[in-house]
Amino acid sequence: MRIAIVDDEDFYLHDVSLKIEKLKQTIENLPIEVDLYSKGKEFIKEFQKHPHDLIYLDIELSDINGVNLAHMIHERKATAMIIFTTSHMSYIHQSYVVNAFQYLTKPLKEPLFSYELKRAIKQYQYMNKAFAFPTSQGRIAFRLSEVIFLETAYKSYKIHTTRGVYYGSLKAVNNLRKALLEYNFVKIQRSFIINMDHIVKTDNILVYMSDDSILIVSKKRYKEFKKRFYKYLEEKK
C-alpha cells in the first residue's frame, strides 16, 4: 500500500509519518510504503507516474490549492483515497465536492487518526480483492476497484474496467454476478451491475460513471438503488 503525505509544514510531514509508522508495526501481511512531499506540484508529477493509494493532503499548500490537486488526483486514479488535513473548518464543504475519504483538523489527534487510517487500510484491502473472470482472452483477474460495471446480454457479458472492456459467456459469470452484489455493487437494471466506487454523480435516474458512461436506473430498481447508494455514502463519511 502506497501512502503519500503532502504538506508544506515539516512538523506535520513528520507527525503524520510517525503516526503511520506506529500503526504499521501492528499490521501483518500488508507492506506499507510512505512518501513525503512538501510541494503539491512535486507530488503530482510522481503520482502521475506511480499513483498512491492513500494521500494525506494539506488543503492550504503554498504552491497549489489542495482541492484543485484532489481533482487532479481523481482524474488520474478515481479510487485513490484522500484524507484532507487543515487548520480551518471552513474548507470542509469543499472536501465533499471532491469525494474525500475523510477530513481531519490540525492538530491531528488520537484515537481518530488511527481509526481513520485503519478504515482506509480496510478499504484498500477490499478494493484489492480480486475475482477471475473467464473472458474471450482467457481468465483475467480484476481487482474490485478496477471493475466499473458489468453489462449482460442474451448469452454474453461485457465487463467495463479501468483496463478496458472485456467479453465472455454469461453462463460462466452467473456466480460472480451474485458475489459482486455482496460488495459495493448494485443492480440498476436487469442487465447492469455497477460499482458505486466509480459513480461520479447521479441526476435522478441517470448515473455518471468514471469511464464517462451514462447509465439509466430502471423504475423497478430506482428505490433500491437510492437506498443502497445513500447507505454507501453514509458509510464513507
Enumerate domains of the chain plus CATH numbers.
Answer: 2-127 (3.40.50.2300), 130-236 (2.40.50.1020)
83 half-sphere exposure, CB direction, 13 A CA radius: 23
Q: Over 90: is that where the pLDDT of 32 sits?
A: yes
Lowest mean pLDDT among 36-50, 81-95, 192-206: 81-95
pLDDT, position 94: 58
Say whether pLDDT at 97 is over 70. no
Compute φ and ψ for 186, nearest 5 degrees.
-140, 145
pTM flag (> 0.75) = no
45 burial (CB, 10 Å; 0-12 / 13-18 / 19+) is: exposed
Would you state the pLDDT for residue 110?
93
- Section 146-162 average pLDDT: 93
Q: Given this model, what pLDDT does residue 177 score?
A: 86
d(Cα 100, Cα 81) in Å, to the nearest integer?
Answer: 7
